[in-house]
Structure 1
Amino acid sequence: MVISSTTGFTLKENIKLKDKKRINYIFNNGSKKIQKVSIVFYVDAQRFRFLISFKRKLFNAVKRNSLKRRIKEFIRLNQYCLKKIDCTILIIRLPSSSSQLFRELGFLLNR
């Protein structure tokens, strides 16, 4: 028996940014949006793709993985409303709440 999500949205594999040259290009030549918890580096693209990274040794693996899951869930639920950019989301501090993190990630939405 397969249990599916209630919304029916799944996060596609091709939405993840994996090309090392493209990632370096984004860090070196892309625009950046500095916020309290995160810095988003981005460039215009054909479709939305993302990469999540953390400041080195910021917190333990449990917290990092929890934040990654929350960010991926935000992207999964809003994937049809996202801007057409390639972006790298760099987490620099632990958010005080999920709502604070989602407010900052609201920058990625077209609304």
Structure 2
Amino acid sequence: MKKEYRIKKQKDFQYVFKKGKSVANRQFVIYTKEKSDETHFRLGISVSKKLGNAVKRNQIKRRIRAFFTQHKDTLKTTEYIVIARQPVKDMDYHDIEKSLLHVLRIAKCIK
């Protein structure tokens, strides 16, 4: 994922947390904040140490990033912060994809 698609700074995370709205299901919490001046979405990912060791956490992050790059044409130009919950550690990519599509439909972020 390109650098301009990422949210890395703490102040950017805090801005989306405070100004945006959240939607959740059992596997993910997604905070969204509309950005009309952007030409593409931005993504921040948070995976807690409670979900496993560094290898497992990075695997979860790679799968979430792969979902967003695969579906980038169908997503609105919004800032997203994805927080993974406990059930994600036992899921494969297709289950993660289904769950993220579900929560993004609830948030009305799919074109």
Fold conserved between structures, TM > 0.5: yes
Q: Distance in 2 between matches of 1:67 and 1:56?
A: 12
Corresponding residue for 1:40? 30
TM-score by length of 2: 0.78
Corresponding residue for 1:99? 94
User: Do structure 1's residue 83 and structure 2's residue 76 form an aligned pair?
Assistant: yes
User: Do structure 1's residue 65 and structure 2's residue 55 form an aligned pair?
Assistant: no
- Shift, 1:102, TM fit: 0.8
- Shift, 1:26, TM fit: 1.0
**SS of residue paired to 1:39:** strand
Moved more, 67-76 or 99-108: 99-108
- Residue by residue over 1:30-83, the C-alpha shift from the partner in whole angstroms, topping out at 9 and shown as x without a partner, is 101111111001110123000110234321111111111111111122222211
Q: Distance in 2 between matches of 1:33 and 1:99?
A: 20
**SS of residue paired to 2:75:** coil
Note the residue ranges of structure 1 that are not aligned, 5 or more in a row: 1-10
**SS of residue paired to 1:82:** coil
Query: What CA RMSD, in Å, does the superposition of the two structures yield over aligned residues?
Result: 1.9
Q: Which protein has the larger Cα radius of gyration, Structure 1 or Structure 2?
A: 1
Contact preservation (8 Å) 2:26, 2:87: no
AA in 2 matched with 1:101: I
- Shift, 1:88, TM fit: 0.6
TM-score by length of 1: 0.78
Corresponding residue for 2:110? 110
Q: Distance in 1 between matches of 2:49 and 2:56?
A: 13
Q: Distance in 2 between matches of 1:88 and 1:24?
A: 10
Structure having the higher helix fraction is 2
